[in-house]
Structure 1
């Protein structure tokens, strides 16, 4: 790659991060004490950026410095539709997710290189997946792999980790994104959505891993992009709430109270619960339309099962093996306390870290 092309890449990443931060060129220039024309030239790749300026850009835009310098990974899935107009909210969300995903990939790699984390082996469904029926069979295969049968998923993060995907919950707008690089599968899910939506997004990203993306399976050849997303969505729905679990309730047509119990037990959104009930033949489409207008209240969910469902993917932000690796790296003085807190993405604060035995660390 030529020097000019490299600076063009840096400039494009600066532009993406500025848009993700919802800043104008004038605002970014003011924060850096530069003229707006300098920002325009940087983004067009016709002005180089020195190390100090890159450091300031990293701080102002709140992205890792390495994001500007590393080649962008291939994003397998991004749960915000990109559009031609880069100034839209959809574009900002997409850029924010890409930054968060790249940072997550780099953090996972740092722990792997430190020797405290081993990347989980990726497992993929070997059967053909070209339609929603195939996708539902793939979801059932995942459930059998982790020994769930018809039971609710307690921790979707653990399921994803078991199948080879490390998920982080991040505080950025959007829904989620995932990638696979050198047999390392990572994904991010935005914490800003409601609990049911977060779980659906995480299951969707796992679907891209298990089923495969457009570059690695026949699904990419025979199905449009919208068709692929519909297939992966079917996988996610069946993984979270199997139609077999729906049909096991009552053995016939279900009432709204039955669906409230299912939504509470399986911690799924009301929309997904109704969708699976229709798929299972437990309610018809006309009934479903009426039910969608009556979303259960928190009190109804508590009454249905006797307890308030603990939101998944909220307080736990990183996978168990990753959290263990962070603590081990800190105990071995491979990372500082602030870095350990940063790596944990809000799951703990400095006071939560164990006390290091400095004597044991002496050479």
Structure 2
């Protein structure tokens, strides 16, 4: 199979394994964490950074990170793309290798992401047997599956709804253009607001909040993990009823302390070796001036 076919098959297998059906996927961060057990974070990084995947070669733990951004559709496709790399175990040393040689893996991960986000069966269920499509139909697909016009256009072409020329034309459209034109700009702004927030891995945050409640972790540490001011973190924790437990200091009574046997014989020998003036008996005086 070529890269496109491998990506399509793997995406279908992933949906079947996790009983995801053919419907649009919701919160991808939560979904990936829940069905795979991987840690996923939305990070505050540079504008040119999209996503990364790391794996502990010894323990096998996997971490997926994506950048927070004002482009929610890109963030979702990046998450799905990185999941594709994990699915195919594309563990490559970033310090070595020919980037051109990785072209196959990148195409395959792109295909996995596209078919995961817009499965052909789900698209057919949504559009049915309608004839010629309009830009309004493209907009509906973009909004329903929460993908970019480019991904939607490719999926529509693969499903036989549009020809190559229309695919290329629609791939040049932007999500804000469609959202404004077809009245779902408020929905898009809500998606933008969500994709701009940093998010800590849920399991890590759970452990941190548990430690805070037990009185062994500061509110500042929880705030740093979430990327918010300490005052905001404290207010939210208080509202949720999370109060640090009092941890009293247990003092021991003197009678409970163990007996200590101290051998002072070496000290006695040293003192006996000194003359009455405090100089070594056989030593040579030094000028400290």
TM-score by length of structure 2 reads: 0.70
**Structure 1: tracts of 5 or more residues without a match:** 1-128
Q: Please state how far the C-alpha of 1:172 moved relative to its aligned partner.
A: 0.8
Evaluate the alpha carbon distance shift between residue 209 and residue 301 of structure 1 in structure 2; reply closer, same or farther with a 3 A threshold: farther
Deviations 1:88-130 (A, max 9, x none): xxxxxxxxxxxxxxxxxxxxxxxxxxxxxxxxxxxxxxxxx75
Please, which of 83, 93, 107 is the counterpart of residue 230 of structure 1? 107
Evaluate the alpha carbon distance shift between residue 233 and residue 346 of structure 1 in structure 2; reply closer, same or farther with a 3 A threshold: farther
TM-score by length of structure 1 reads: 0.56
Evaluate the alpha carbon distance shift between residue 146 and residue 310 of structure 1 in structure 2; reply closer, same or farther with a 3 A threshold: farther
RMSD: 2.8
Contact 1:247 1:282 in 2 (8 A): no
Larger radius of gyration: 2
Greater relative contact order, per chain length (Cα 8 Å cut-off, separation 6+)? 2
Matched, 1:169 2:34: no
* Residue 157 (structure 2) aligns with: 278
Matched, 1:263 2:142: yes
Please, which of 211, 233, 237 is the counterpart of residue 349 of structure 1? 233
Matched, 1:131 2:3: yes
Evaluate the alpha carbon distance shift between residue 279 and residue 192 of structure 1 in structure 2; reply closer, same or farther with a 3 A threshold: same
SS of equivalent to 1:154:
coil
CA distance, structure 1, for counterparts of residue 181 and residue 248 of structure 2? 58
SS of equivalent to 2:14:
helix
Q: Please state how far the C-alpha of 1:266 moved relative to its aligned partner.
A: 1.3
Deviations 1:329-361 (A, max 9, x none): 2111232111111112349633222442443x3
Contact 1:260 1:301 in 2 (8 A): yes
Contact 2:40 2:63 in 1 (8 A): yes
SS of equivalent to 1:282:
coil
Evaluate the alpha carbon distance shift between residue 196 and residue 271 of structure 1 in structure 2; reply closer, same or farther with a 3 A threshold: same
Deviations 1:171-228 (A, max 9, x none): 1111111111021100111113510001111111111111211569xxx9xx931111
Contact 2:43 2:66 in 1 (8 A): yes
Count of aligned positions: 228
* Residue 78 (structure 1) aligns with: none
* Residue 89 (structure 1) aligns with: none
Evaluate the alpha carbon distance shift between residue 215 and residue 130 of structure 1 in structure 2; reply closer, same or farther with a 3 A threshold: farther
